[in-house]
Structure 1
Amino acid sequence: MTVELLWIPVTLVASVAQTARNALQKNLTATLGTVGATHVRFLYGLPFAVVFLAAIAGATGQVPPLPGPAALALTACGALAQIGGTALMLAAMRARSFAVTIAMLKTEPVLVAVAGFAVLGERPSLGAAVGIAVATLGVVLVSLARPAGEKTQADLRSIGFGLLAGGLFAVSAVGFRGAILALPPVPPLLAASTILVTTLFIQTVVLSLWLAATDRAALVATLKAWRPSVTAGFSGAFASQLWFLGFALTTAANVRTLALVEVVMAQVVSGRLKEAVAPRELAGMALILIGVAALLLH
């Protein structure tokens, strides 16, 4: 496989790891709350990311590059947007099924493509644009699968949370891609790992200070729940390492569109959790797969 296509298996493995991480975080939300479960992702992911960076630096024989002002600004923007997106995602999961919440988040590729073009000047090809559009249509079908009369206030609030979370994740993806490109020339894996460590450090500090000021009980709870949190932290750090490597290899729009396979993976998780999924939601997931296929074949 050529380096140009390496982003495909990297993104697929990242999707598997992220699905596992999201399921673990959903379970932690019941005991730690939304912000506490969000904090776990960054607090327990940071040590693993540092180990990854040290191993990569040792293997390549190169010192990690020092992010300049532009890289730091883009990283901070992506880090804060990801905090908000993660919190809204977990809040949405409390009202709707795991699979449907993940699907609502996946309006992200269109927003990533638009933001990537506006901020980084990365224009998608016609084939990629068609794939993104078809996959997003599938997301819309999944999100609106229930008849209007069956939607409760909690459902509508959850849809809003999911769509807003998708927008914030789009901002974070473009921010991270831009930060990696702003680094001095180094191997893609080293650049990705450098920005990942910087991102998790910012996120850990911000959320630790926030919880210390607003909810110390939740902060203490995240420290006490270290056993399940370490697993979630490792899954998150591993997935993020691969996401960032994907961003180093190709456009954020390509990576986030292929990541729509998470919707199908989430359906498998929902089946294990015995959560009902409507036929129209399954039809929407089929469109998502068609859109992903169009992206890969363009």
Structure 2
Amino acid sequence: MVLGEGISPLGLVAIIVGVGGVLVLSGPMDRSGPMWRRLLSPSAALGLSAGALFGVSAVCYRGATLAVSANDPLLRALVTLAAVTSMQLLTMAVWLYLRDRPQIGRVLRAWKTAGWIGLTSMAGSFSWFTAFTLQNAAYVKAVGQIELIFGIIGTVLFFREKISSREWVGMLLLATSIMALMLTL
């Protein structure tokens, strides 16, 4: 609505199925007490708030990439990512300066390890911003939920954990959602 971009009815259904998959994967809710109290628990409220803010951020990133006057989507994504990470760096530096000055030195001393982590994180963010440049933010975020499936697969391959029936159902819902979204694009 903010950017004047809509989604198709099938896209909306696919996103709702994906949200259902995420809810199933988020774990069993406490079965005691009324349903509204379980849904409005402090942890659920924090999760929903974080999700809403991520959604707002995604729409803002999409709008920012569209505002860059360049024809190349990779350049638009790069300019937007540079602006966003610069603002994050400045905000974090001010926060640390005001709240925990010694931490600034610790961060700077960890540059060898942090540099590689930062570069790989930047590559992931560049991919997200490129996707926001090319497609509606709702679709990008919904398809991006595939990272949950990869996370579960990683726990099986590296930590030898068993996949529960609840996790299979959640992954099936997410995969269905993602496939339906791919058909609508």
Under TM normalisation by the shorter chain, which class is it? 0.7 to 0.9
Which sits farther off after the overlay, 267-276 or 215-224?
Answer: 267-276
When the two chains are superposed, the root-mean-square deviation of aligned CA atoms in Å is 2.1
- The match for 1:247 is 132
Q: Which blocks of at least 5 consecutive residues in structure 1 are unaligned?
A: 1-117, 150-155
Residues 241 and 265 of structure 1: is their aligned pair in 2 closer, same or farther, counting only changes over 3 Å? same
Number of equivalent positions? 175
What's the CA shift for 1:275? Answer: 6.2
Bigger relative CO (Cα 8 Å, ≥ 6 apart): 2
The C-alpha deviation readout for 1:218-239, integer Å capped at 9, x for no partner, is 3222222223211210111111
Give the fraction of aligned pairs with identical amino acids, expressed as a percent.
Answer: 34
- The match for 1:292 is 178
Q: Verify the 8 A CA contact 1:196 1:240 in the aligned structure 2.
A: yes
What's the CA shift for 1:146? Answer: 4.6
**TM-score normalised according to structure 1 size:** 0.54
- The match for 1:124 is 7
The C-alpha deviation readout for 1:107-160, integer Å capped at 9, x for no partner, is xxxxxxxxxxx21011101221111111111111222425436xxxxxx65544
* 1:237 is the counterpart of 2:122: yes
Residue identity in the other structure for 1:295: L
The structure 2 residue matched to 1:145, chosen from 28, 33, 47, is 28
Cα distance in structure 2, aligned partners of 1:158 and 1:268: 25
Q: Verify the 8 A CA contact 2:68 2:79 in the aligned structure 1.
A: no
The C-alpha deviation readout for 1:62-105, integer Å capped at 9, x for no partner, is xxxxxxxxxxxxxxxxxxxxxxxxxxxxxxxxxxxxxxxxxxxx
The C-alpha deviation readout for 1:179-222, integer Å capped at 9, x for no partner, is 11122243111111111101111110010110111012332222
Q: Which blocks of at least 5 consecutive residues in structure 2 are unaligned?
A: 33-40
Cα distance in structure 2, aligned partners of 1:270 and 1:223: 32
* 1:167 is the counterpart of 2:52: yes
Q: Verify the 8 A CA contact 1:120 1:178 in the aligned structure 2.
A: yes
Determine which structure has more spread, i.e. the larger CA radius of gyration.
2
Residues 266 and 158 of structure 1: is their aligned pair in 2 closer, same or farther, counting only changes over 3 Å? farther
**TM-score normalised according to structure 2 size:** 0.84
